[in-house]
Amino acid sequence: MENDDGHSTGYRHVGHLGMADEQLKSVVAPAVRAALGAGRRVVLACPDAVNRALAAVARDGDDLRVLPRASRDARPATAVAELTALVVEQLPGDGRRLQLVTAVQSPPAGWSGTMQTEALFNHVLADHPVDHLCLYALDPEDTSDEPGPGAAEVAVATHPRLLTGDGDVENPGYREPAAVLTELQQVQVPDPLEATEPALTLVDLDDMRQLRRSLHRVLADSWLDRDAVEDFVLAVDEIVANAAEHGMPPVAVRLWDSADRVLCSITDHGACFDDPLAGYGPAHGDMAVGGMGLWLARRSVDSLVAAPSDDGDGCTVRLSVKA
């Protein structure tokens, strides 16, 4: 969406590769100064050293806010919800655009979750009047001047524009959020744990109380703590309820409990929902009227993937949490 001047009125996602001092000074700081000069509210939510370097360009009267580094939860659904809340809180109430600057650093669990999160920002925040500049840190083990391949791949795939020494330029390597998530999910199906004997099998399930009791009994001996067990049972309960309401019986539930992961598959014989973006934002925000099960489930697990059943007859949803 564009205004009368041809500028975007929705979310603009811009990536920049690197946070070295020279890059901050020569490339990023001028972009921040330009946003302040245009009268925008600028919010810096980066590591302290980066915040200090960028805040130095502000002048008296500029609308600049400096926050602690914005956290990135390992679960994409939670990370997206947290950034959305930050954006809503910081948006000016007078119609001005918000310039948000955040930092992306090497995640302990690898870049897959970060790629999902960054792709989802483009979907969930599409209508918000925000310029979001993401600064990608170099791998601390990388002694070269180039960002690590993980960071570069994520930045290029998930940002429609890149901030470079030549300015804010269109990124020809950008991919739509649905395409990114679809590719990442294909890597996860089928799950290798499914080749082993499940700890729990419930076939032709029609008693939700039996489901919850059985899950609690098996998971009581797992490495999950009490809160994590409750979250996982909630997620399974929501997906089974969706399968019972929108799918076709019978519904089968299988659970695997390994030393580093818990996996549950829910299979019914209806059509499989094929929108990888579904459930990453509340359907309406009113818990009392229902329709938010997929959103709740995504917030409660590390991974939720829907795919056609192995025999092609129905749909299997796989939920997993990692140690």
Tokens read off for 161: 């524009």
Q: Are 310 and 254 contacting, i.e. CB atoms less than 8 angstroms apart?
A: no
The three state secondary structure string of 37-63 is HCCCEEEEECCHHHHHHHHCCCCCCCC
Phi, psi of 230 (to 5 degrees): -60, -40
> Higher-confidence residue: 185 or 11?
11
Residue 190, pLDDT score: 83
The DSSP call for residue 148 is P
What is residue 3's predicted lDDT score, i.e. its pLDDT?
46
Cα(255)–Cα(221) distance, integer angstroms: 13
Q: What's the pLDDT tens digit per position in 127-178?
A: 999 999 999 986 544 444 444 448 899 999 999 999 999 999 999 999 999 9
pLDDT band for position 189 (50/70/90)? confident
What local confidence, expressed as pLDDT, does residue 143 receive?
Answer: 40
What is residue 125's predicted lDDT score, i.e. its pLDDT? Answer: 96
Yes or no: say if 41 and 96 are a contact pair by the CB < 8 Å rule: yes
Say whether pLDDT at 2 is over 60: no
pLDDT at site 282: 58
293 pLDDT band (50/70/90 cuts)? confident
Q: What is d(CA 155, CA 14) in angstroms, rounded to the nearest whole number?
A: 9
| Among 202-206, 228-232, 313-317, the range of highest mean pLDDT | 228-232
> How confident is the model over 36-59, as a mean pLDDT?
97
- pLDDT tens digits for range 205-255: 878 899 999 999 999 999 999 999 999 999 999 999 988 888 888 999 999
Maximum Cα–Cα distance across the chain: 68
**Alpha carbon distances (Å) from 162 to 132, 154, 252:** 11, 12, 46
Q: For residue 308, count other CB atoms closer than 10 A to its CB.
A: 14
Query: What pLDDT shows up at residue 12?
Result: 98
- Residue 229 is predicted with a pLDDT of 96
Of 116-125, 261-270, 278-287, the poorest mean pLDDT is in 278-287
Give all domains of the chain, ordered by start, each with its CATH number.
12-180 (3.40.50.300), 190-322 (3.30.565.10)
Using the predicted structure, report yes or no on whether residue 283 has a pLDDT greater than 70.
Answer: no
**Average pLDDT, whole number, for the chain?**
88
Coil, helix or strand at residue 96: coil
Looking at residue 200, the DSSP 8-state letter turns out to be E
pLDDT at residue 168, as a whole number: 95
Q: Are 13 and 132 in contact (CB under 8 A)?
A: yes
Question: Residue type for 316, please?
Answer: T
